[in-house]
């Protein structure tokens, strides 16, 4: 089957043709379903998003879309692990996802995501975060920055957007400006220590500093009106001072949680997921949690060569943390209000490389949505017997973004503005109709 760039292209090229030629309603119903979702006013169900990022390119056929088993030593293409049944009838996952297998009815497996970036990690990371190819004239905002711009924080004295991991332009605000950038954290227990003032700076001294700086800004802007970058920077620094207060800093005290809760989440990645739950509970709108900074297997999810050998350790840690997050949010009656996304820059092919690992593959790969009031308990799209070819319901990255925006009550058809230039909020993406009741 010829690969098509977007779900809309797929429907236009095959669905409409089949419907007109044969009278079949299969594709026309799909078209009308998409139009209904696309044209309806967005209804906010999820008020926060936790975006779990598997950096490096998690293998779809070794996790969420298992196929017939291969053999790395014999270079026989296929999945590396056995498959197990799940709470969704007829849907299997990798054997190292037993906890999630039991909770899969709280999720939607999106097994037919795709884009055209294969060989460059940074470009693929950027594509998934901003939802479109780069151009030479516009720096597009990330999905977290769009959420910040459109919705802001839910609570007072907290940021709208937090990234747990190292900063990068792909996660940045682009033309939306510094006000909608992220607060980034590398240590879950320390919090944003860079925002804290030195111990010898008293409240009175800090107030004098702020007053002097405010006067300098005012005078400069009076002489140079319309300096948006300075205005955004000033707003960000003022917000930073608020975040250094005891109210927000208390969110990072994970020891205040019961030992049983902390234990349920597991290791480093799990503790980040626990912190993400605490952050959204406090009012943060969008939290990205990166897995992992320390590369358990030497390569992270980029399982070339020997990286394949210990891939199961990462899958098991993902399984524990993801399941604990779902159950914790459910206990707190927050799962329907919190959209959990498991995303990665691309998948991996069924063939094994010379070292027994896998290369990159972006023509078909899996991402996961959970909670958020979506119509969970299903897998969207199918791939062929090796996970190489999309057989139905292709989901472009623009569609993926549009689905997340709609779940959060953001109009996926809205135009933002880069100066006076209108920029569609997605790259002509449509929400995936099956995700909504």
Q: pLDDT tens, 277-304?
A: 999 999 999 999 999 766 777 788 999 9
Question: Is pLDDT above 60 for 37?
Answer: no
Residues 296 and 362 in one domain: yes
Taking the C-alpha atoms of residue 23 and residue 222, their distance in angstroms, rounded to an integer, is 67
Question: Average per-residue pLDDT in the chain?
Answer: 87
CA distances (Å), origin 409, targets 329, 365, 413: 20, 26, 12
Within a domain: residue 405?
A: yes
Averaged over 156-162, what is the pLDDT? Answer: 91
- Secondary structure letter of residue 166 according to DSSP: -
Which element (helix H / strand E) includes 85?
Answer: strand 83-85
Same domain assignment for residues 165 and 94: yes
Residues 6+ apart with CB under 8 A from 309: 297, 356
Query: Are residue 272 and residue 418 in the same domain, yes or no?
Result: yes
Q: Do 417 and 355 reside in the same domain of the chain?
A: yes
For the chain, the domain total comes to 2
Could you report the per-residue pLDDT of 46-59, keeping only the tens digit for each?
A: 999 999 999 999 99
* Domain boundaries, position 204: 198-242
What is this structure's pTM?
Answer: 0.85
Q: How far apart are the first and last CA of the chain?
A: 30
Residues 389 and 312 in one domain: yes
Which among 242, 264, 296 is the end of a domain?
A: 242
What confidence tier does 250 reach under pLDDT thresholds 50, 70, 90? Answer: confident
State the Cα–Cα distance between residues 246 and 237, nearest whole angstrom: 17
| 425 pLDDT above the threshold of 70 | yes
| 132: confidence class by pLDDT, cuts 50, 70, 90 | very high
Asked if 230 contacts 178 with a C-beta cutoff of 8 angstroms, the reply is no
> What confidence tens digit (pLDDT) does each residue in 357-381 have?
999 999 999 999 999 999 999 999 9
Higher pLDDT, residue 184 or 114: 114
CATH code at position 190: 3.40.720.10
* Residues 57, 366 contacting (CB under 8 angstroms): no
Distance between CA atoms of residues 134 and 55, nearest Å: 20
pLDDT score at 196 = 63
pLDDT surpasses 50 at 412: yes
How far is Cα of residue 3 from the mean position of the Cα atoms in its chain?
Answer: 24
| 231 in the same domain as 187 | no
Could you tell me if 372 and 83 are in contact, meaning their C-beta atoms sit under 8 angstroms apart? no
CA 260 to chain centroid, in Å, comes to: 27
- Examine the domain organization and report whether 137 and 286 are in the same domain: yes
Q: Which two tokens stand for residue 116?
A: 């055209």
Do residue 332 and residue 429 come from a single domain?
A: yes
Asked if residue 174 and residue 236 are part of one domain, the reply reads no
Cβ–Cβ < 8 Å for 159, 182: yes
The more confident residue out of 158 and 287 is 287
Asked if 231 and 183 sit in the same domain, the reply is no
Q: What pLDDT, on a 0 to 100 scale, did the predictor assign at position 220?
A: 78
């Amino acid at each position: 089957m010829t690969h098509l760039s977007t779900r809309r292209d797929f429907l236009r090229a095959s669905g409409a043709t089949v419907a007109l030629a044969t009278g079949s309603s299969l594709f026309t119903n799909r078209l009308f379903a998409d139009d209904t979702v696309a044209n309806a006013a967005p209804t906010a169900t999820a008020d926060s998003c936790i975006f779990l990022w598997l950096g490096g390119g998690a293998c779809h056929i070794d996790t969420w879309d298992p196929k017939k088993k291969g053999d790395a030593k014999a270079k026989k293409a296929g999945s590396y692990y056995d498959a197990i049944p799940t709470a969704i009838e007829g849907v299997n996952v990798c054997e190292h996802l037993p906890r999630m297998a039991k909770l899969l009815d709280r999720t939607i497996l999106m097994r037919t995501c795709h884009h055209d970036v294969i060989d460059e990690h940074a470009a693929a990371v950027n594509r998934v975060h901003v939802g479109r190819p780069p151009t030479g004239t516009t720096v597009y905002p990330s999905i977290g920055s769009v959420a910040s711009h459109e919705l802001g924080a839910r609570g007072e004295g907290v940021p709208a957007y937090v990234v747990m991991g190292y900063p990068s332009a792909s996660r940045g605000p682009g033309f939306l400006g510094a006000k909608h950038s992220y607060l980034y954290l590398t240590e879950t227990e320390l919090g944003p220590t860079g925002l804290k003032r030195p111990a010898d700076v008293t409240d009175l001294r800090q107030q004098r500093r702020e007053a002097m700086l405010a006067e300098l800004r005012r005078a400069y802007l009076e002489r140079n009106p319309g300096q948006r970058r300075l205005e955004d920077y000033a707003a960000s620094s003022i917000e930073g001072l608020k975040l250094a207060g005891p109210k927000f800093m208390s969110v990072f005290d994970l020891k205040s949680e019961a030992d049983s809760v902390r234990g349920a989440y597991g290791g480093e990645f799990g503790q980040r997921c626990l912190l993400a739950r605490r952050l959204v509970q406090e009012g943060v709108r969008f939290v990205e949690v990166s897995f992992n900074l320390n590369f358990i297997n030497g390569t992270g999810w980029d399982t070339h060569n020997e990286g394949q050998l210990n891939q199961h350790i990462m899958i098991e840690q993902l399984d524990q943390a993801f399941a604990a997050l779902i159950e914790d949010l459910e206990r707190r009656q927050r799962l329907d209000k919190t959209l959990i996304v498991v995303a990665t820059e691309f998948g991996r092919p069924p063939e094994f490389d010379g070292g027994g690992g896998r290369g990159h593959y972006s023509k078909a790969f899996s991402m996961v949505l959970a909670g958020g009031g979506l119509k969970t308990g299903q897998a969207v799209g199918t791939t062929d017997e090796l996970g190489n070819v999309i057989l139905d319901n292709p989901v472009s990255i623009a569609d993926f973004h549009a689905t997340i925006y709609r779940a959060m009550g953001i109009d996926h058809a809205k135009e933002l503005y880069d100066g006076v230039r209108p920029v569609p909020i997605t790259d002509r993406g449509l929400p995936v109709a099956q995700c909504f009741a």
